[in-house]
Amino acid sequence: MSLNRNDIENIARLARLELAEAEIPVYVDSLTRIFDFVGELDRAPTEGIAPMAHPLPGLAQRLRADEVTEADAHERYQRNAPRVEAGLYLVPKVIE
């Protein structure tokens, strides 16, 4: 399995990661090696084996009571926000 520059650029775009020009060949190389390495999995006999999404078998989702227990704390939560105005998080204009 070999990835090229275009693959890396597409993945980076999907993941919203801007890469410096110098980083691209590094990732072309290392991701190619990683996918060669994980290609070993092809040999595993997995026919009829269910995918395992969770490490503990047989557990079920717990259901919470429908209760409101949270008070407004937006000012505290917004202390970490880079840009806020009138209680809103600001971002460059969203064009729909």
Site track 6-25 with other proteins (rule: CB under 8 A), x = hit? -xx--xxxxxxxxxx--x--
Q: Which helix (H) or strand (E) holds 85?
A: strand 84-85
Applying CB under 8 A, among 4, 5, 25, 90 the residue interacting with other proteins is 90
Applying CB under 8 A, among 4, 5, 25, 33 the residue interacting with other proteins is 33
Pick 2 or 40: Cβ nearer other proteins: 40
Site track 35-74 with other proteins (rule: CB under 8 A), x = hit? x-xxxxxx-xxx--xxxxxxxxx-xxxxxxxxxxxx-xxx
Would you call 8 exposed, middle or buried from its count of C-beta atoms within 10 A (0-12, 13-18, 19+)?
buried
Residue 16 · residue 31 · CB < 8 Å: no
